[in-house]
Amino acid sequence: MLVKNLFVVVLFIVFSGMLYATVYENADDKKNTKWKVLQSFEAGTVSNIYDKQKRSRVIKLKGAGTKSAYLLMKKKNLSKNLFWKNKKEKILHWQMKYSEDFVILIGLDTKGGKRFLIYTAGDETSYLQYGLRYNETLGKWKSYQRDLQKDLAYFEVDNIIVSVNSFVIKGSGFLDNIKLTQNKKNKNKNKTILLVENNKSKESNVSIKKIVTKKKKSHTPMIFINGENPMILKKGEKYVELGAVAKDQNNKELIVNISHAIDIFAEGEYSVLYMATDSMGNSVIDKRRVRVGEFLEQKESVTQQSESTPPLEEKEEELEKREVEMMAWEKELLLRETEIAQKEHQRAMLRQPLNQPLRPGL
C-alpha cells in the first residue's frame, strides 16, 4: 500500500509540472476586456463568441486586415498590468482559424535589449521572422507551439530571453487558448525524485536532481556609440554623425554600417542604426535616439500638471497615463518593425559580390 501511495506522489509531481501553464486567453469568461485595439493602426473590433466548429467560446478579431492590430494584455483593459513580463515560461501555444494573412509579433526583453519575434502566414523566413506555412489550413482551426528561446537563438546565438512581454496580432480571424509553458528540461529542475526498489521505499533513495548548465561564452561583437545617446536637437539644427566603434571577441575593429532618416524640420524621435558583422557571421545592431524639437518639454509640463491634480480626478489621470504608455509602446513596436526591415536590407547588401553592382532599389 505504501509503494502505491509513493507512486501516486511521483506521478502527481511529474504530471502537475507538465500541465503547469499561464493561460492568457481561453475565452471561457465570455469577455473581451483583455484585448486592446492599437490606435496607431486602422480601427478594429474584438468580440467573444461561440464557435460551432470548435464547440467552445473563442475570440473574434475583425478590422482592416493586417492594417489593424490587437494587443492581448495580462489583465483587463483598465489594469496597470498591461504586459505579461513572464520570466519563467518561454514556450508559446495558441490556436487560430484564419482565412487571410496575419502577422503575430511577440515582444521580448532580452540580454541584448528589446526584440520582437514575428510569425507570418506565408513560408518566408528572415531575420527574427518565421513563416508558418498557413495556406494548407485556411479557414480551419490549427494549434501552434513555438519555443521562443530557440527562435531567438537561431538568429542571435548568444542572446537570452529575460521575459516574454506581449502578444500582438494583425489581421481578422479567430483565436483561442493562448498560453505560455516552461521548457520540459526546466520543469524538472531541482524537483524531488522518489525511487522505489524491490517494492520498498528507502530514505537513501530520495534524491534531488540537479541540472548543471555551463554558461556559453558570448561571441557577439560589441558596438560603442560615440557622443550623446539620446541626442537632442533644436528644430532645424544640423545633425552631425559622430559614428561608432565595433569590435569582435578578439578586440579587432570591425566596419560599422550606419543608416538613418532624420528630418530636422519635423519634431519627433528618430533612430540612427549601427550594424557590424564579424568574420564568423555574428552580427550586432544598436541605435542612437535623436530627438528633434520641443515636444519633450511639453510632455514634462503635462507630467507636472498631473502631479497637482485633485484626488477626484486621479482615476481619469491614471487612465490617461496608461494611454500615453500604450502610445509610446506602439511607437516602439513600429520602430522595431522598421529596424528589422533595415537590418534585412543591410544583410542583403553585405551578401552582394564586390564586383557586382547592387540591384535597383537597394
At residue 45, the pLDDT reads 95
Topology (CATH level 3) of domain 21-181: Jelly Rolls (2.60.120)
| Domain limits, CATH 2.60.120.260, in the chain | 21-181
Residue 204: how many other CB atoms lie within 10 Å: 7
At residue 352, the pLDDT reads 59
Q: What residues contact residue 196 under an 8 Å CB cut-off, 6+ apart?
A: 3, 6, 7, 205
Q: Can you identify the CATH homologous superfamily of domain 222-350?
A: Immunoglobulins (2.60.40.10)
- CA separation for the pair 114, 329 (Å, rounded): 11
**Could you read off the pLDDT of 209-264 as tens digits, one per residue?**
444 444 444 567 888 899 888 889 998 899 999 999 988 888 888 898 888 888 88
Q: In the predicted model, is pLDDT for residue 193 greater than 90?
A: no
- CA separation for the pair 282, 359 (Å, rounded): 25
Q: In the predicted model, is pLDDT for residue 24 greater than 50?
A: yes
CB 84, CB 21: distance < 8 Å: no
**Could you read off the pLDDT of 87-108 as tens digits, one per residue?**
999 999 999 999 888 889 999 9
**Could you read off the pLDDT of 334-350 as tens digits, one per residue?**
666 666 667 666 766 76
Which pTM was predicted? 0.54
Average pLDDT rounded to a whole number, residues 150-172 = 92
Confidence of residue 274 (pLDDT cuts 50, 70, 90): confident
**Could you read off the pLDDT of 195-208 as tens digits, one per residue?**
333 443 344 444 43
At residue 332, the pLDDT reads 66
